[in-house]
Structure 1
């Protein structure tokens, strides 16, 4: 069999799996609905396993969406979140012959001549594409992220399955209205298909973190990039979990870099990295000593209205000073509707959890006695139980990736067993804060990278 036939069969099989997964998800949905209809309680775990098995037949965008959903507390029941988090988001890599054809489609017949070296074997394979190491003619090491073919139709098919899962959850008496969450996830995943936009995101991060040497951002190479091919500088580094056994000072240094990587762009520019996944950063060293982190992926970036950032700071200061009016104002700015004393108290359960480490002026761990996978689950359950008594609450769509970033970062700090004064770190990031200043610097930065 030729390489071409082999690749054709591989992607025909991929298409067939999409059809099968859709049918499987529908079958599990009917099973879950029947369980609820006939009052067969206590079967959530087995239903969750069946759903994960149905989804697990496909490697691709749906895995990315499923894992994303699992990291947002209380969007799906805990049993489902636990199963979805086990899924792997790696797609089978494209073979050498197919890579050559894909590169020719993106850069033309003479694509190979534009590199001094190009490794046809991928160094990493993910849900939407795979990464190849290359070398420019001037000796610069490069990372070329090449998107799998036909990903747009695959993503649309997967997002339709996402809507099935969410609508099922709503019919099961969900206390959080997920309609806005679906819109947010769909918008961000579609954005990830556009590698030109991701290159602009990387340029934005280079600008925002230019004076933060403990965080390195790769430089995009526009002449070797297209909508479906992103070429950037290669950043050498190793996995952050390799440093779990390092000295406390090293683990704290890396954790501080992670804190700055997420909160500095948000507090100064209203921009946040919505995917603090362990595979999206590595550790760089100098003279054999770990110094900071490489941020590698810029597909899932959220740009917030400056007023939203103001709400985050207002809620922090309201909780810190016991200023009830400021707390309520923050929720109103974010777009929560129908605020009552009861609802405010419920929202404060989650707020005090997220802000807890920032409110205490002492060196501490992010949390005690919980694993990274369990971080936030207890508080999400408390909120869920409290909301059961008052009916569905619509969560503003901006919260999807804000919450995800907070939970993801907390997991990193737990992995590294960091001991930091989060309060002073946060205060340093919001010193001199004003919504007007964020609006001005955000507009200038977005204009400079072509995102305005």
Structure 2
């Protein structure tokens, strides 16, 4: 029987998360309204500890919020960015019940072998090692119970945080941010959808020899169970002290893994979390976890390229056209200038035709944080802005992946990498490629 969102399920979730998330909102409100001094660093550390042991989407939401400029004070961002989705795994009794519910009483006979102890535990589910009847090594992702109720309850908590913070600081209107996060999180609950995303990425990256995507076993996959081939690899951070040439190669492969699908088919992997890829012995990349995928209308991709050209040639009218293509509305001259500050930061590595690090200035915090704070201050002065939904995960991917390149200290000619992808860009050709790839995977087109 499928688990549905329920009032009881939500109530239980509220009880679990209310103290930590509600406390955050209350303290922010008290600080802003009454001038109550809050030890933000201490409270942020407490919040990270609470969320780090809590299964469900709030941990993932917290990670997402760290990449939205000034959605939370920097003390919270620095703590929440450390969340690695490593909640304790559910026990063997749960695994047996869940597997029986998904595949029937004889489920163990459908695998050659299945390890009841989880190999990894994440925010929405845990992963088990198994072996297929034909001998292939498998990864079996099993969703935790009552996740639908957890998602809805956590989204309400997120709305509370946004509402209180926005009341006293209207620089960023978060309505569309919340809607976009909500849509993607609800999609992540459907593992059959994720299996289609994996087939989509296999199709889009079929010519990328250095990027690997697991194969899905549809006969062993349901909405709450996903069976795929196991891809061996090491965590990316193990290569931080590798030779420069090695780090550059890994960064090159990561860039191709993320941006070939976007510029060729209008699709982005919206969760550049360190746990979502591993590195092979030959430094190829394994791309993992396809729950958070964003499919864009082709014109949005055109807008990204238009804005790059606008920044590189200082064409203000083209920049305005790009923002409007994305869905920004009613932009004043001051807000346009402020948005251009952010665009100049994001596109900076692409503008110089030479090998360089992704960020050459000395960074005192997270990638892009200092610029984001400057942008936020100016937006607040000029009446604020409402980011369109499509902007949320595109920006998250750019900043999140930039942070990974910063960890690697990669030195690459990003300009040439980017121009290789957009050379001869034709929006009609993108439409044809996108339609063909989506049809192959059985996925509907963008809204």
Partner of 1:132, secondary structure, is: strand
Please point out which of 196, 199, 202 is paired with 1:200: 196
Verify the 8 A CA contact 2:86 2:123 in the aligned structure 1. Answer: yes
Change (3 A) 1:18 1:320: same
Q: Tell whether the 8 Å contact from 2:87 to 2:123 is kept in structure 1 after alignment.
A: yes
| 8 Å CA contact retained: 1:373, 1:411 | no
- Paired residue for 2:260? 264
Aligned CA distance change for structure 1 residues 104 and 53 (closer, same or farther; 3 Å):
closer
Deviation string for 1:156-215 (max 9, x for gaps)?
111111111111111122300000000000000110000000000000000000000100
Determine the structure 2 residue equivalent to 1:243: 239
Change in Cα spacing, 1:14 to 1:124, as seen in structure 2 (3 Å) is farther
> Within the alignment, does 1:294 sit opposite 2:286 as a pair?
yes
What is the deviation of 1:59?
3.4
Does the CA-based 8 Å contact 2:358-2:402 persist in structure 1? yes
Matches of 1:369 and 1:178 in 2, distance apart? 30
Instruction: Measure the CA separation in 2 of the matches of 1:51 and 1:278.
Output: 21
**Residue 376 of structure 1: aligned partner:** 368
Q: Does 2:246 match 1:254?
A: no
Q: 1:59 to 1:222 in 2, by over 3 A?
A: closer
User: Hey, what does 1:172 align to over in structure 2?
Assistant: 168
Q: What residue number does 2:3 align with?
A: none
1: distance between equivalents of 2:11 and 2:171?
35
Q: 1:106 aligns with which of 102, 105, 110?
A: 102
For 2:221 and 2:116, locate their aligned partners in 1 and report how far apart those are by CA, in whole Å. Answer: 17
Rounded to whole Å, the distance in 2 between the matches of 1:350 and 1:43 is 30
Which moved further from structure 2: 65-74 or 229-238?
A: 65-74
CA distances 1:21-41 after superposition (whole Å, capped 9, x unpaired)? 214433442333222222346
**Partner residue in 2 for 1:411:** 403
Q: Note the C-alpha offset of 1:98.
A: 1.7
Deviation at 1:400?
1.1
Q: Is the 8 A contact 1:349 1:383 kept in 2?
A: yes
Per the normalisation by structure 1, the TM-score is: 0.92
Q: How many positions carry a matched residue from both structures? A: 437
Please tell me the root mean square deviation across aligned C-alpha atoms, in Å: 2.1
Matches of residues 271-420 of structure 1 in structure 2 within 5 Å? 271-285=267-281, 290-370=282-362, 374-420=366-412
Task: State which drifts further: 166-175 or 79-88.
Answer: 79-88
After superposition, what is the alpha-carbon deviation per residue over 1:24-66, rounded to whole angstroms, capped at 9, x for unaligned?
4334423332222223467554554565466456332211111
Alignment check: 8 A CA contact 1:72 1:404 kept:
yes
Change in Cα spacing, 1:222 to 1:42, as seen in structure 2 (3 Å) is closer
Q: State the Cα deviation string for residues 112-165 of structure 1 (Å, max 9, x = none).
A: 111111111111100111111111111111111011111111111111111111
1:323 shift after superposition: 2.0
Q: Hey, what's the Cα distance between the residues in 2 that align with 1:295 and 1:434? A: 27
Q: Could you tell me how far apart the structure 1 residues matched to 2:39 and 2:123 are?
A: 31
Partner residue of 1:6? none
> Does the CA contact (< 8 Å) of 2:272 and 2:401 recur in 1?
yes
Q: Does 1:211 align with 2:207?
A: yes
Aligned-pair distance for 1:294? 0.2
Maintained 8 Å contact 2:10/2:150: no
Q: 2:29 aligns with which of 23, 29, 33?
A: 33
Displacement, 1:411? 1.2
The range that moved more, 118-127 or 29-38, is 29-38
List runs of 5+ in structure 1 lacking aligned partners.
1-11
Matching of residue 182 in structure 1 with residue 178 in structure 2: yes
Q: State the partner residue of 2:125.
A: 129
Alignment partner of 1:265: what SS? Answer: helix
> How far apart, in 2, do the equivalents of 1:183 and 1:17 lie?
20
**Cα deviations across residues 340-370 of structure 1 (Å, max 9, x unaligned)?**
2211110000000000000111110101254
Residue-by-residue CA offset, 1:277-323 (whole Å, 9 max, x unaligned) = 111111112xxxx3310001100110011110000000111112222
2:227 maps to 1:231: yes
2:71 corresponds to which of 51, 72, 75: 75
Q: Secondary structure, in 3 states, of the residue corresponding to 1:232?
A: strand
